[in-house]
Amino acid sequence: MASGPAGDPVAGGPSAFSRLLGYVWLAVKLALFGLVFALAVKNSEPVTLRFFLGREVETSLALALVAALCAGALFGVLAMAGHAFGLRREGSRARADRDLLRAEHEALRTEHEGLQAERDRLRGELAALAPAASAGQDEGALQASANAATDRQVPHGL
């Protein structure tokens, strides 16, 4: 495996620890398979399964246990299917709501930018008118009236 200047693995390649962990998991899986295989060999005597309406099947105990395990897993998956589909439906509704909120946010942002541009334009017009009107007025009173006229804000939380 290639390594970088500091001895670190190159991006994208597995590290030594992850390879070791892979070998450990492989050993655990092989040991588990060996235990299950040994259990199946020790329980290979035939058993008779009696179903309804007089139907009987003779098979090995290990095969009957595996069939019961598979049937239980299938019933468990079927029992959870309704809940999983409900969660998918709820997730798709949440994504649709998120998209609507993003569109509304973008519309509000555009409106806010337009209002800021309008405010800046009005301030510019007021500043252009201010020197002509200031011949007979006090500069402080003119500035106070300009601020009062242009600094109207909509309170947040409405």
pLDDT tens digits, 96-152: 999 999 999 999 999 999 999 999 999 998 888 876 555 555 566 656 666 665 555
Work out the pLDDT band at 1, boundaries 50, 70, 90.
Answer: very low
- Measured CA to CA, the distance from residue 114 to residue 124 in angstroms comes to 15
Q: Find the DSSP H helices in the chain.
A: 16-42, 61-133, 139-150
Coil/strand/helix, residue 85 = helix
pLDDT tens digits, 85-98: 999 999 999 999 99
pLDDT tens digits, 23-47: 999 999 999 989 888 888 887 888 8
- Measured CA to CA, the distance from residue 79 to residue 158 in angstroms comes to 46
CA distances from residue 97 to 59, 88, 91, 100, 158 in whole angstroms, order as listed: 55, 14, 10, 5, 21
- Does pLDDT of 156 surpass 60? no
- Measured CA to CA, the distance from residue 104 to residue 110 in angstroms comes to 10
How high is the pLDDT of residue 66?
A: 83
pTM of the model: 0.43
Where do the structural domains in the chain lie, given as residue ranges?
19-133
